[in-house]
Structure 1
């Protein structure tokens, strides 16, 4: 996952315009900042457990694995700290943030209320093209589940939830949701590590899509709230089991 970050320039396209004139070949090349690439790689590594809670983030090792200097790496780590995925410790550097069960439960309770509002707004405000795009993401997610590709499944799953937020057309809600979701992405991924919970989540998403297609806001509100509640219960139970094993 933490393979070398590619920084090479892509060739510009040369398609003809509608007037018949060739599009310019030489023009500005979009280049993504290295620290943004590093944020994505490190975030995925933390969410998927490659970088475990409590582990120290060794700058030398990570800069070598990512193929970047320490400056963009440090910028990436600071951004991940704002998301709650990393803790910056005085005189000790950075560690992957431990999962705080109490704070997690509080955050997920707030997100449950947001999910309910998201469901109502999406059914009322989503365009047909919005729903079609969500349906396409759903089918991609189902295909990933069928081949048991958890990483791909999770990526499509997160895209669906974010698309539902955007379809509601409330910028403040979308901003708040994104901030909170950044803090719980890791545990949402953890919930699907249980095959039974993963399969149940897929069935719930089938119902979610059906309610959205029917524009049944009352039902979608309840389904999204229940979906997150089930995920919360699975994660908290897993954390309690882990704590019990450590204490034994």
Structure 2
């Protein structure tokens, strides 16, 4: 990974550390190796510590008094509580999107859906997840509610490392694709109530995936460690 050339770019440092957490290089519960990261990014400890404050506000990092910071561990309850709120926001976004979506936005989402289906048929999971995420983001954007979008993005950062898990059974993957087919149909019909319910149920299905034993082990979802 290349060093960060500019000074005091704590947000860029935050982006780099966030990526390390989401990719699993910094695992849940481990201490943040501040000295190593400073050398790796070519920055002083000041921007790194400012970055850690940002990540703490996102629920990704815990700041330990006089002991640095560590990657926050997730529990099933924490993920469920977050998904409950995200589901409500996604449902509302679907209802609003059906009222306000433009023809151009509709066409772009449908094109993304076709790309996602191609990745599914080719069993390209990483590419599938990337397009899948863009579809959800596009529906949220079509809702045209900046406060809703900001709240959703803040919550999404907390569980992104498990929402797009590499461990997913064939049956759950197939169900996720079927859900997306129903989403597109409801969106084309501009049926806000139906799309809202589909989006809420879709996130509930994601919680089932996270709760599987294999995913728990892979994502290190453990009980909150005592400080």
TM range (shorter): 0.7 to 0.9
The 2-side partners of 1:142 and 1:78 are apart by 39
The answer to whether residue 211 in structure 2 is matched with residue 236 in structure 1 is yes
User: Which residue in the other structure is 1:19 paired with?
Assistant: none
The 1-side partners of 2:180 and 2:198 are apart by 9
Go from structure 1 to structure 2 and tell me whether the alpha carbon gap of 1:198 and 1:43 turns closer, same or farther (over 3 Å shift). Answer: farther
Go from structure 1 to structure 2 and tell me whether the alpha carbon gap of 1:143 and 1:100 turns closer, same or farther (over 3 Å shift). Answer: same
1:146 deviates by 4.8
The 2-side partners of 1:209 and 1:90 are apart by 48
Match of 1:112 among 87, 91, 115: 87
The 1-side partners of 2:41 and 2:121 are apart by 31
SS at match of 2:63: strand
What are the ranges of 5 or more consecutive residues in structure 2 without an aligned counterpart?
A: none
The 1-side partners of 2:215 and 2:174 are apart by 22
| Contact 2:14-2:55 within 8 A present in 1 as well | yes
Structure with larger Rg: 1
The answer to whether residue 35 in structure 2 is matched with residue 60 in structure 1 is yes
| Contact 2:4-2:41 within 8 A present in 1 as well | no
| Contact 1:48-1:189 within 8 A present in 2 as well | no
The 2-side partners of 1:87 and 1:121 are apart by 35
SS at match of 1:38: helix
The answer to whether residue 191 in structure 2 is matched with residue 193 in structure 1 is no
What are the ranges of 5 or more consecutive residues in structure 1 without an aligned counterpart?
A: 8-30
1:90 deviates by 1.0
Go from structure 1 to structure 2 and tell me whether the alpha carbon gap of 1:135 and 1:104 turns closer, same or farther (over 3 Å shift). Answer: same
* Larger RCO (CA within 8 A; separation ≥ 6): 2
Output the TM-score relative to the length of structure 1.
Answer: 0.76
Output the TM-score relative to the length of structure 2.
Answer: 0.82
Match of 2:196 among 215, 221, 237: 221
| Contact 1:122-1:164 within 8 A present in 2 as well | yes
The 2-side partners of 1:187 and 1:32 are apart by 32
The answer to whether residue 203 in structure 2 is matched with residue 204 in structure 1 is no
| Contact 1:47-1:189 within 8 A present in 2 as well | no
The 2-side partners of 1:60 and 1:150 are apart by 34
The 2-side partners of 1:149 and 1:78 are apart by 35
